[in-house]
Structure 1
Amino acid sequence: MLLDFALFCVAALFCVGALSLYWRSRADVTRRVYGLSGALCAAIFVAAVAPRGAGALTTTLPLGVPWIGMHFRLDPLSGFFLAVVALGGAAASAYAIGYGAQEKDPMRILPFFPAFVAAMAAVVLADDAYAFLVAWEFMSVASWALTLAHHDHAENRAAAYIYLLMASFGALCLLMAFGVLAGTTGAYDFATIRATPLDPFKAGLVLALVTLGAGSKAGLVPLHIWLPLAHPAAPSHVSALMSGVMTKVAIYGFIRFVFDLLGPPSFLWSVHPLVFGAASALVGVLFASEQSDLKKLLAYSTIENVGVIFIALGLALAFKANGEAVPAALAFTAALFHIFNHSLFKGALFFGAGAVLGATGEKNIERLGGLIRCMPRTAFVFLGACVAIAALPPLNGFVSEWLVFHAILLSPALPQWLLKLTIPAVGVTLALSAALGAAAYVRAFGVVFLGRPRSEAARRARETDPWSLGAMSALLLLCLLAGVLPGLMIDAISPAAAASVGGRMPMQSQIGWLSIAPIAEGRSSYNGFLVFAFILFSSLGAMYAIKRIWPRPLRRAPPWDCGYVDASPLTQYSGSSFAQPIRRTLGHIAFSVKERLDMPAPGETRAAHFTVDVGDRFIAYFYEPLGEAVTAIAKRLNFVSFLPIQEYLALVFAALVLMLIIVAL
């Protein structure tokens, strides 16, 4: 019943997208589409979290392949990700009721937005290869159309093109992975695939293909190049969905393959997610600390957090392969918890960036500043989301990363020397990434909201609309609740962990004082509620002491300006100057930097100029040569376009014979 209801709501979302074309001449079309989308997402969320027992719900619809149909399944793992999709879709819909009123051409967004949410929900409910790939392609095409919504800018068209290329590559890898899983029997439903054992070579091949296919959609380094281009190009509520939800759907695909369909894992399977996750975390945060485009900064931060999630999944695979059920459950729970957390605070941050963009028309943080005075509520929510993503207590980002570090500390018990050497290096990388992430968000909030306005647009900014503020505030409240009461989330995730790794963390609800214990209460514990209470009462006490007890009256004065007489906004600390130490000490790891200084000679009155060009090494050393090679090969094969019909038929026949030989082998 719950599964049928969820599928009905998914179909209704597709219908809302189609109805938007019928309503396009109405003045309230934006409110109608987003209102219905939000209501349907709320209904899907209820179906996802409703009690349904320990088993899985399955159904088959008479669609797709004749006489076979499309299979769908709602189990603890798909239910968790369905809740993430529905919650993100509901928040984005509520935000867009206010934000969408600013769109000049809303019909380039409205038909595709509910279809995008519906496709993501269909991916996590799919129980066969056909339904999975069809929903995956719908998700890719709908998000591509939304990325191209503001097509009048050349950089947006280029971003959509690169995204489409990477999405096609990822889908091809997943198609080949399903082909290997189906084998000679050609079975494509997950139940048959799950029951068919694979030899180590085929399992390794599927793992490599899934890492490429799901990793390209999730933004794993070096498959990340589309993400910092496409997310800033899309409208802000779509960016929040792509970053906070779509990347998690891709991670669901990886989990479904590796933890479910491939059978018992080998310890070598954990090396891929550990290495790629660590590289993604470090490269993503280094790029984020350097960006001047606010939405691009958030996009690179997504790459970092995806890396954190893959590190946790790699640890879960390592523990599961060695029969360590409880540590595997700890790492897997940490991964799912961080997936949920990231969907919350990254959604709030993209909503805040959209509010800033709508109020000022600026994404460049070097032209902002002082917005805390004219947008105080947005500034408060953005600050809270920055605290959460920087993994600072008492908000939720701290808890999930704390669990990941606990799983790393349990890794010395693993017997393989490869893991004994790899995991500590990954742990150091994760710690460095966490510190750099905190610095990146101190920079982002400080430059955008503090100080003095650096442009007239920032000076004239006004607070955003109530719908946008409500959506942002709701996500921040959930961040606080998940950080203060993390035991409730851990217990809710435990059924998915038990189904995926064969173990679960201790029941956190049985531990007193709302504390959580990863392994046992006597070893280590954390109490978010007490931390929150201490921070709250100490802050209130400090405010009371300053305002009531301190004898001197409160006064306002201009900030210290480094000795400059002219209190110009240009003399204050900028985002570029904040990032310079990180760029010069660690930047060479991730990107190439060219600094150019044009300093006038003594006596000249012209202004000095300092420019910094940051280049992506992966684009320069891999993707550009690859594109040039493809272009050269295409030019050499251009003669095929002018073959006579007889030679065309012979070429097709030879290709068919070759494919049959490959399938037979």
Structure 2
Amino acid sequence: MSRARHAITLVYVSTLIISVAACANAVDFLLTAPSPAIAGLPLGLPWVGSHFRIDTLSAFFLALVNFGAAAASFYAVGYGQHEESPGRVLPFYPAFLAGMNLVLLADDAFTFLLSWELMSLTSWALVMAHHKEGDNARAGFIYLIMASFGAASLLLAFGLLAGAGGDYLFASIRELHHADLTSGLVLVLVLIGAGSKAGLVPLHVWLPLAHPAAPSHVSALMSGVMTKVAVYGFIRIAMDLLGAPQWWWAIVVLVVGAVTAVLGVLQALMEKDIKRILACSTIENIGIIFIGLGLALAFASNGFNAAAALALTAALLHALNHSFFKSLLFFGAGAVLGATHDRNIERMGGLIHRMPQTAVFMLAGSAAISALPPFNGFVSEWLMFQAVLVSPQLPQWGLKFFVPAVGAMMALAAALAAACFVRMYGVAFLGRPRSQEAREANETDQWSVTAMGLLAIICLLAGILPGVLIDALAPVTTTLTSAHMPVQTSDPWLSIVPISESRSSYNGLLVFIFISFSAMTAAFAIHRLASKSLRRSAAWDCGYPDPSPITQYTAASFGQPIRRVFGTTVFRATEHVDMPAPGLTRPAVYEARVHDVIWEMLYAPIASAVAIASGFLNKMQFLTIRRFLSLVFVALVVLLLGLAIWP
């Protein structure tokens, strides 16, 4: 056991040091904004090798990935000591981090796809670390299939990008001119390939299964970091390699992003598993990021470079912010899981008394992901709405119609996200304990608490001083849109002004000062200026004096109004009530069912068709030699006929 603990400490401390160094180098490259650095290795395809390049776009995502890796490694130094099967995690964890970094550095299609597959396979191995628990094996199987499907789509996209010349260097691809039909097909393929890894609807079915199955620090990496590598892949191809965008591309991306945002948060509101709630919330935030990218494509296609820079800045800033607060929330979920040995929030309750530090940091993460000021989630979503408000100047009527509709859907998603995390936090941490495990829970280890505390502080600082991050993104937006937002750190009181002060501005520092001053003033007035007499009474019992925890609101009851409004259409939710007649002593029975419509209507029929085809083809291995020869003869005749009639 001591050898395993030493191995855990060695691996995670080593990855922590390497990730911090890589993050610092990436930030330095991004801020100094030198010319791209290019390197090559005599490995890979014959006469081609492997090519690597770092520019401002890859530097930003390298900083994001390695910061998330450093936070996860720091957390895992303590959390990993509780891992039951460290041998299934430690070999693949550094390889997973290496795969993500190599994707960001790749400068040719072969190296990109090879690194992409390394990232997918190592993350699959981590998902399968606890393969004997629940549906984890099924989650890993579905993840592997979706990852293979996404990689195949990217392979086809690069084949079209390379053209007849077959030169897969990114520099050569940038110089090619692609027909409109080819460009549109590449966009769709990239949206499928990168979207399947990011979690875009309807390619998201693996994400609520795989992310919760992995160890919690790996879940934080997959949800907060790996999905951003997929966002990078989309940006690299759609906004760099593919050339000048067409305006209709934006409609495709906007619609997919808006549907993803709303369906993701609605699914999160239906879940009771704390890690599945967070995983479904990632789908919502990925949708918001793609809304920003769609707006950037819309503005860039019409030559509105300043507006495109605003939308792209909002998307990139939300990607960064999401990596902060989603990592924090998964760390908190891991601490809760370690203390209660349960992921069902219906069996928690009252954890604020048993795990006070985790409760405070989870509250900060919940506020940030709910886009409440002064935390960082508010800033990036506010910038996104500012980009939506600029859309009336777009000339195409399709964009004039879709962009406001997408803005309304994003506002709906933001409101539902707030309800989702009030539900999750209230049921899990407030009220009375609903199980013996919740009553006996204890605070997690100090490494994990410190990691959560640092991320909570970063979420607050990024919301108070967002201008620093916005200015750091200027080299990226300049590279992709030939423009950037106005310099923010030169504004008084560190306000951020997306376009001009006459239109809108936001000051996170003043909001933080106002909230702090109001809270302290209210506390002082209540405790010092109010009546000296003190009355004590029982806590408000909501009309239920029975102290039993079954009288409390549950996650199901909290989400019932939303389920009845949206669930009947989106999830075909049904409710069944069996109420005994008066005088009967048997208990009443209430049952609510929610269906995954996308899985049942899209993936289940495909799985059934594959099973039927497999059963039919399985019979072919038992054919006699005469039937085999007859089958080969028929196939040869069909091929010859095809060649004869081919024009």
In 1, Cα distance between the equivalents of 2:597 and 2:134? 23
What secondary structure is seen at the aligned counterpart in 2 of 1:148? helix
Return the letter of the residue paired with 1:587: G
Tell whether 2:164 aligns with 1:184: yes
Using the alignment, how far apart are the partners of 1:401 and 1:660 within structure 2?
Answer: 56
- Distance in 1, matches of 2:334 and 2:231, equals 26
Out of 49, 60, 67, the position equivalent to 2:40 is 60
Residue deviations 1:11-54 (CA, integer Å, cap 9, x gap): xxxxxxxxxxxx99554111111110111111110111114534
Alpha-carbon distance between aligned partners in 2 of 1:555 and 1:115, rounded to the nearest angstrom: 61
Contact persistence 2:245–2:300 (CA under 8 A): yes
Give the distance between the partners of 2:128 and 2:312, measured in 1 at CA: 36
SS in structure 2 of the partner of residue 71 of structure 1? strand
Partner of 1:365: 345
| Counterpart in the other structure of 2:230 | 250
Q: Give yes or no for the alignment of 1:28 onto 2:14.
A: no
Q: Which range is displaced more, 497-506 or 346-355?
A: 497-506
User: How much does 1:652 deviate?
Assistant: 9.7
> Retained in 1: the 8 A contact 2:103–2:229?
yes
Give the CA deviation at 1:646: 6.2
Q: What residue in structure 1 maps to residue 448 of structure 2? A: 468
| Matched residue SS, 1:63 | strand
Residue of structure 1 equivalent to 2:594: 614
Q: Which moved more, 1:601-610 or 1:386-395?
A: 601-610
TM-score (norm 1): 0.93
Deviations 1:455-499 (A, max 9, x none): 111111111111001111111111111111111100101111111
Post-superposition shift, 1:565?
A: 3.7
Deviates more, 1:52-61 or 1:641-650: 641-650
Does 1:403 pair with 2:383?
yes
Q: How much does 1:612 deviate?
A: 1.4
Q: What is the CA–CA distance in structure 2 between the aligned matches of 1:448 and 1:187, rounded to whole Å?
A: 54
1:434 equivalenced with 2:399 (yes/no): no
**Equivalent AA in structure 1 for residue 121 of structure 2:** V
- Find 1:166's aligned residue among 146, 149, 172: 146
Q: 2 CA distance for matches of 1:298 and 1:74?
A: 32
> Following the alignment from structure 1 to structure 2, what is the Cα–Cα distance between the partners of residues 655 and 273?
41
Q: Distance in 1 between matches of 2:637 and 2:491?
A: 68
Shift of 1:650: 7.5
Distance 1:653 1:242 in 2: 47
SS at match of 1:333: helix
| 8 Å contact kept, 1:283–1:589 | no
Q: Distance in 2 between matches of 1:618 and 1:329?
A: 34
Give 1:589 shift. Answer: 3.9
CA shift digits 1:555-602 (9 cap, x unpaired): 664433343342111101111111010000112342121212222222
Which of 20, 23, 26 pairs up with 1:45? 23
Q: Kindly indicate whether the alpha-carbon contact (under 8 Å) linking 1:319 and 1:414 is maintained by their aligned counterparts in 2.
A: yes
1:569 match: 549
Query: Alignment partner of 1:185: what SS?
Result: coil
The answer for the alignment partner of 2:68 in structure 1 is 88
* Distance change in 2, residues 1:652/1:104 (3 Å): farther
Q: CA deviation at 1:656?
A: 10
User: Aligned match of 1:231 in 207, 211, 219?
Assistant: 211
Paired residue type of 1:611? E
352-361 vs 560-569, which moves further:
560-569
What letter corresponds to residue 428 of structure 2 in structure 1?
V
Helix, strand or coil for the counterpart of 1:62? Answer: strand
- Contact 1:170 / 1:216 at 8 angstroms: preserved in 2? yes
Q: Do 2:567 and 2:594's aligned partners in 1 also have CA atoms closer than 8 Å? A: no
Unaligned runs of at least 5 residues, structure 2: none
- Aligned-residue CA RMSD (Å): 2.2
Mapping for residues 173-212 of structure 1, pairs under 5 Å:
173-212=153-192
Q: CA deviation at 1:609?
A: 2.2
Question: Partner of 1:70: helix, strand, or coil?
Answer: strand
What is the SS of the residue equivalent to 2:53? Answer: strand
Q: Aligned letter for 1:45? A: C
Query: Which residue type is aligned with residue 323 of structure 1?
Result: G
1:508 aligns with 2:506: no
In structure 2, distance between residues paired with 1:79 and 1:629: 44
Q: Distance in 2 between matches of 1:25 and 1:506?
A: 54
Structure 2 CA distance, aligned partners of 1:655 and 1:266? 41
Judge conservation of contact 1:30–1:106 (CA < 8 Å) in 2. yes
**Counterpart AA for 1:389:** I
Q: Deviations over 1:330-353 (max 9, x none)?
A: 000000000000000000000000
Q: How does 1:120-519 map to 2 (within 5 A)?
A: 120-519=100-499
Q: CA deviation at 1:228?
A: 0.4
User: Residue 33 of structure 2 contacts residue 475 of structure 2 at CA under 8 Å; is this kept in 1?
Assistant: no
Q: 2: CA distance between counterparts of 1:654 and 1:470?
A: 70
What is the percentage of aligned positions where both structures have the same residue?
55
**2:391 alignment partner AA:** S
Give the drift of 1:416. Answer: 0.3
Say if 1:240 and 1:346, in contact at 8 Å, map to a contact too: yes
The code of the aligned residue for 1:30 comes to I
Partners of 2:522 and 2:639 in 1: CA distance: 77
Cα distance in 1 for partners of 2:506, 2:629 equals 74
Q: Give the direction of change, closer, same or farther, for the CA distance of 1:501–1:628 in structure 2 (3 Å limit).
A: same
| Distance (Å, rounded) in 2 between the aligned partners of 1:232 and 1:45 | 26
**Aligned partners of 1:410 and 1:216: how far apart in 2?**
30
Please state whether the residue corresponding to 2:43 is helix, strand or coil: coil
Paired residue secondary structure (2:594): strand
- Measure, in 1, the Cα distance between the counterparts of 2:455 and 2:5: 29
Unaligned runs of 5+ in 1: 1-22
Q: Which amino acid is the alignment partner of residue 336 of structure 1?
A: L
With 66-75 and 330-339 compared, the bigger mean Cα shift is at: 66-75
Superposed, which structure 2 residues align to 1:514-525 within 5 Å? 514-525=494-505
Aligned in 2, Cα 1:648/1:242: closer, same or farther, shift over 3 Å?
farther
- Secondary structure of 1:510's aligned partner: coil
In the superposition, relative to structure 1, how do residues 629 and 547 fare at CA in structure 2: closer, same or farther (>3 Å)?
same
Pairs aligned (count): 641
| Separation in 2, partners of 1:529, 1:389 | 19
Alpha-carbon distance in 2 for matches of 1:647, 1:555:
95
Given that 1:88 and 1:347 are in contact with CA atoms closer than 8 Å, whether structure 2 keeps it comes out as yes
Distance in 2 (CA, whole Å) between partners of 1:659 and 1:467 is 66
Shift of 1:548: 2.2
Residues 651 and 228 of structure 1, relative CA distance in 2, 3 Å threshold: farther
- TM-superposed CA distance for 1:379, in Å, is 0.4
Change (3 A) 1:70 1:650: farther
Q: Which amino acid aligns with 1:49?
A: V
In 2, the alpha carbon distance for the partners of 1:501 and 1:600 equals 66
Residues 328, 456 of structure 2: 8 Å contact kept: yes
Asked if the contact 1:561–1:572 (Cα under 8 Å) also holds between the matched residues in 2, the reply is: no
Cα distance per residue 1:43-74 (max 9 Å; x no partner):
11011111453421111112112332111111
Query: Partner letter of residue 28 of structure 1?
Result: H
CA distance in 1, matches of 2:28, 2:222: 26
Q: In structure 1, what residue type is equivalent to 2:439?
A: R
| Secondary structure in 1 matching 2:45 | coil
TM-fit CA distance, 1:632:
2.2
| Residues 290-331 of structure 1 deviation map (CA, whole Å, 9 limit, x = unaligned) | 211110000110000000000000000000000000000000
Q: Secondary structure at the match of 1:127?
A: coil
- CA distance in 2 between partners of 1:364 and 1:459 (Å): 15
Local SS of the residue matching 1:454: coil
